Amino acid sequence: MYKIVGVINYIIVIFLNAFTDLGHKIIIQNTIFKVYDGDMQVVLTAVVNALILLPFILVFSPSGFLADRFPKNKIMEYSSVFAVLITLGITYSYYNGYFTLAFIMTFILALQSAIYGPAKYGYIKELVGEKYISSGNAAIQATTIVAILGGIIFYTVLFEGMYSDSFVDESQILKAIAPLGWLLVISSIVEWFYASKLPNKMKEASKREFKVKRYLSGAYLRKNMKLLTRKREIFNAIIALSLFWSISQVVLAIFGEYAKSNLGVTNTIYVQGVMALAGIGIVLGSIMASRYSKYYINLGLVGLGASGITIVVFLVPFVDSIALMAPLFMLFGVFSAFLMVPLNAHIQLLASRVHLGIILAGNNFIQNIFMVTFLALTTVFAYNGMDTEILFYLMGIVGIYLSFMTLRHYFVDTFWAKMFILGSLRHKYIYHGLENVPKEGAALLLSNHVSWLDWIVLQLPFNRYLNYMMEKDIYNWPVFHVFFKKGEAIPISSKASKDAFKEAYKRLKNGKLVAMFPEGSISRDGKLSRFREGYECIESDYEGCIIPVFIDGVFGSLFSRYKTSNKKYFWQRRVINVYYGAPLSTQTNSEELREVIQSMKDKYEIKQTQA
């Protein structure tokens, strides 16, 4: 992905944009932290966050129109020019100690970001294509968080170095830290330079016109909201992201006061440092999400992320040490990335090219309505004396709803994501010949059987569910039964085999993937045993093929019937190779199939020996 022309420049632009925006926000937040205490501190912090969010609500239609009407690289370039002018105004307010003006400039800087936000994120799909859309989102998410982390640490350390306990009001603080404004200006100028180097990836220019009257009357808003809700999958993803960001905003808004009143921490470096660890967690989580989405957008990570976030938020009030709070916030970041990266990639993939800007602007619009609403409620609760600890519990309750919502939509995907993560701790999976398995239409996957993990190993690289034919006794295992049922497995027994084969035929006729192990049982010696003719009972007149599969590397592991005495795998990950052979006729009999898989086995074992 990084060899694609423009990717490196794009990442630099994303970094500098977030670094500059965060720099000014941190300076204002730290000023509030030093001057105000208690309820007023929470209220003003929430107001600052609201000023950053409101523009994304106000410019929903214009920003979406711009991203669809004009080349996205040009929108980023011209917006960077405005960022230079805005940071000059911010620097002016610092030098003159105009805290109110600096407060207002927070809104204007956010307005600039909101206008080109859809173009900035819509450019991912145009630049790297669908093949790298998960990796692209992971890279941009990680870059943004690194920029936020850098901004938090960089500007907070400089702020503390310039701050003096003798300062009594905001004006004195701003005048003392005024030189920091020039750093914001320089960052904006460099961002402008790299934005001007981005390639134009727009395939076809739109001829739509923007009519101010329709915008002011709300006609665009109504039309665009209908567009957002047209695809239920997109809208559900947007709501999930909105709930997540609402929880995050409230947690960040109240943590400063919580740390001061409950943990006795008054140094902004410690407070911002702990919150920065959430950013490090997001970077790590984004890398992991990219890795687990190697073959497709792994939506199962969303359920894991939502559940993890909920648990962390509930745990925060029970932690009475800033040192223990640090790893907790890092976990919060990891789970956040698990939720954000797949959902953002999913939205971009499902959105049509001509409406991508509107969809992404609508995503910002709804998310920010949620966040502003939550921050407004936080402000009201804080103003009326509600303890920050209770606010954490309230966010935990919201997290429970988010977890329920995501698990309902991605229940089976969550199970497979969990299996992928657990399996990857001890195994390295390498898949060969995936192009032989049709992305659409029917196929019967028939594989050798060497371990209890084979059914998991075969499923991991596919977004489509494999409809496994499995022993009825295994199908009815407690706990696993609900996943087998949701995963569309087909139970089979000696007493009801005809019905099972009829069901398999029916699913193949409907274009599904069906999988089974014709050996019937797990190998005890690693050799291919006789292939049973059972699968031949499936009628062969469906439009599809048979895919022979050979699994290598699991035999001798903890999950096979034969346990090797070689202990080399205890300290290293076991390499598992899975080979998908060329498609065979649906009339291929068991003896022919066994010969094909045996030849695959011999071929790859010879290669292994030579290596």
pLDDT at 547: 92
Q: Of the candidates 1, 8, 347, which has an alpha carbon nearest to the alpha carbon of residue 199?
A: 8
C-alpha distance across the termini of the chain, in Å: 29
Is residue 562 included in any domain, yes or no? Answer: yes
pLDDT at 334: 92
pLDDT top residue among 266 and 314: 314
Domain extent at residue 95: 7-409
Q: Of the candidates 329, 337, 327, 324, which has an alpha carbon nearest to the alpha carbon of residue 313?
A: 329
Query: Is 407:291 a contact under the CB 8 Å cutoff?
Result: no
> Are 545 and 456 found together in one domain?
yes
Judged against a pLDDT cut of 70, whether residue 207 lies above it is answered with no
> Are 402 and 446 found together in one domain?
no
Mean pLDDT value across the chain: 83
Q: Beta partners for 443?
A: 513, 545
Collapsing DSSP states into helix, strand and coil, what is residue 21?
Answer: helix
pLDDT top residue among 86 and 121: 86
Percent of the chain with pLDDT over 90: 17
Query: Is 127:7 a contact under the CB 8 Å cutoff?
Result: yes
Query: What is the spatial distance between Cα 68 and Cα 89, in angstroms, rounded to a whole number?
Result: 30
User: Of 409, 441, 464, at which residue does a domain stop?
Assistant: 409
What phi and psi values does residue 154 have, to the nearest 5 degrees?
Answer: -60, -55
Judged against a pLDDT cut of 70, whether residue 568 lies above it is answered with no
pLDDT at 183: 92
Judged against a pLDDT cut of 90, whether residue 344 lies above it is answered with no
Q: Strands, E, within 472-543: which ranges?
A: 490-492, 513-516
> Are 405 and 473 found together in one domain?
no
Query: Is 364:239 a contact under the CB 8 Å cutoff?
Result: no
Return the amino acid letter for 421: I
Name the CA radius of gyration of the chain, rounded: 28
Q: Which of 157-171, 187-201, 502-516 has the lowest mean pLDDT?
A: 157-171
Per-residue pLDDT band for 512 (boundaries 50, 70, 90) equals very high
Query: Is 245:399 a contact under the CB 8 Å cutoff?
Result: no
pLDDT at 194: 93
> Are 383 and 433 found together in one domain?
no
Query: What is the spatial distance between Cα 515 and Cα 547, in angstroms, rounded to a whole number?
Result: 9
> Are 109 and 215 found together in one domain?
yes
Collapsing DSSP states into helix, strand and coil, what is residue 353?
Answer: helix
Which H or E element spans position 361? helix 356-383
pLDDT at 546: 92
Collapsing DSSP states into helix, strand and coil, what is residue 443?
Answer: strand
Percent of the chain with pLDDT over 70: 94
- Provide mean pLDDT across the span 182-194: 93
Query: Is 406:552 a contact under the CB 8 Å cutoff?
Result: no
Which H or E element spans position 580? strand 574-580
> Are 322 and 447 found together in one domain?
no
> Are 349 and 242 found together in one domain?
yes
Judged against a pLDDT cut of 90, whether residue 192 lies above it is answered with yes
Query: What is the spatial distance between Cα 336 and Cα 305, in angstroms, rounded to a whole number?
Result: 6
- Provide mean pLDDT across the span 92-102: 89
pLDDT top residue among 210 and 128: 128
Query: What is the spatial distance between Cα 267 and Cα 257, in angstroms, rounded to a whole number?
Result: 12
> Are 381 and 454 found together in one domain?
no
pTM of the model: 0.75
Per-residue pLDDT band for 310 (boundaries 50, 70, 90) equals very high
Token pair belonging to 338: 């698990």
Token pair belonging to 26: 């941190």
Is residue 414 included in any domain, yes or no? Answer: no
> Are 431 and 502 found together in one domain?
yes
> Are 88 and 227 found together in one domain?
yes
Is residue 448 included in any domain, yes or no? Answer: yes
Query: What is the spatial distance between Cα 75 and Cα 73, in angstroms, rounded to a whole number?
Result: 5
Judged against a pLDDT cut of 70, whether residue 436 lies above it is answered with yes
To which residue do tokens 């609403």 refer?
373
- Provide mean pLDDT across the span 512-517: 90
pLDDT at 496: 66
- Provide mean pLDDT across the span 414-440: 87
Is residue 416 included in any domain, yes or no? Answer: no
pLDDT at 206: 62
Other beta carbons less than 10 A from residue 277's beta carbon: 20
Is residue 249 included in any domain, yes or no? Answer: yes
User: Of 382, 409, 436, at which residue does a domain stop?
Assistant: 409
> Are 380 and 501 found together in one domain?
no
Which H or E element spans position 181? helix 180-195
Return the amino acid letter for 61: S
Other beta carbons less than 10 A from residue 213's beta carbon: 8
Judged against a pLDDT cut of 70, whether residue 608 lies above it is answered with no
> Residue 35: CA atoms inside 13 Å, Cβ hemisphere, count?
19
Q: Quote the crossing angle between the two packed helices 7-35 and 268-292, to the nearest 10°.
A: 150
Collapsing DSSP states into helix, strand and coil, what is residue 433?
Answer: coil
- Provide mean pLDDT across the span 478-498: 79
Is residue 322 included in any domain, yes or no? Answer: yes
Q: State the Cα angle at 409 between 403 and 413, rounded to 5°.
A: 95
Which H or E element spans position 147? helix 133-162
Query: Is 34:163 a contact under the CB 8 Å cutoff?
Result: yes
To which residue do tokens 């599809």 refer?
544
Across 310-326, b (16+ Cβ under 10 Å) vs e yields bbbbbbbbebeebeebb
Judged against a pLDDT cut of 80, whether residue 571 lies above it is answered with no
pLDDT top residue among 211 and 492: 492
Query: Is 198:6 a contact under the CB 8 Å cutoff?
Result: yes
Q: Beta partners for 392?
A: none
Per-residue pLDDT band for 611 (boundaries 50, 70, 90) equals low
- Provide mean pLDDT across the span 454-463: 88
Q: Beta partners for 584?
A: 546
Query: What is the spatial distance between Cα 400 and Cα 339, in angstroms, rounded to a whole number?
Result: 14
pLDDT digits (tens, 9 = 90+) for 34-89: 777 767 777 777 777 777 778 877 777 777 778 778 888 888 888 889 999 999 99
> Are 395 and 460 found together in one domain?
no
Query: Is 29:45 a contact under the CB 8 Å cutoff?
Result: yes
Query: What is the spatial distance between Cα 265 and Cα 73, in angstroms, rounded to a whole number?
Result: 44
- In angstroms, the Cα distances linking 339 to 172, 282, 331, 333, 345 are 42, 10, 13, 10, 11
Which H or E element spans position 551? strand 544-552
Judged against a pLDDT cut of 80, whether residue 159 lies above it is answered with yes
User: Of 409, 435, 464, at which residue does a domain stop?
Assistant: 409
- Annotate 235-278 with DSSP letters as a single string: HHHHHHHHHHHHHHHHHHHHHHHHHHHHS----HHHHHHHHHHH
Its sign, for the CA torsion 585, 586, 592, 596, is positive
pLDDT digits (tens, 9 = 90+) for 249-308: 888 778 877 777 777 777 767 777 787 788 888 888 988 888 888 888 899 999 999 999
pLDDT at 406: 92
Across 287-301, b (16+ Cβ under 10 Å) vs e yields bbbbebbeeebbbbb
Query: What is the spatial distance between Cα 290 and Cα 137, in angstroms, rounded to a whole number?
Result: 8
Query: Is 358:227 a contact under the CB 8 Å cutoff?
Result: yes
Query: Is 528:567 a contact under the CB 8 Å cutoff?
Result: no
pLDDT digits (tens, 9 = 90+) for 469-480: 888 888 888 777
pLDDT at 564: 56
Query: What is the spatial distance between Cα 372 and Cα 49, in angstroms, rounded to a whole number?
Result: 8
Q: 481-486, long-range: CB within 8 Å, 24+ apart, which pairs?
A: 483/412, 483/415, 486/411, 486/412, 486/415
pLDDT top residue among 367 and 566: 367
Is residue 342 included in any domain, yes or no? Answer: yes
Q: Beta partners for 580?
A: 549
- Range among 203-212, 326-335, 418-427 with highest mean pLDDT value: 326-335
Domain count across the chain: 2
CATH code of the domain in which 300 resides: 1.20.1250.20
Is residue 139 included in any domain, yes or no? Answer: yes
pLDDT digits (tens, 9 = 90+) for 386-402: 777 888 889 999 999 99
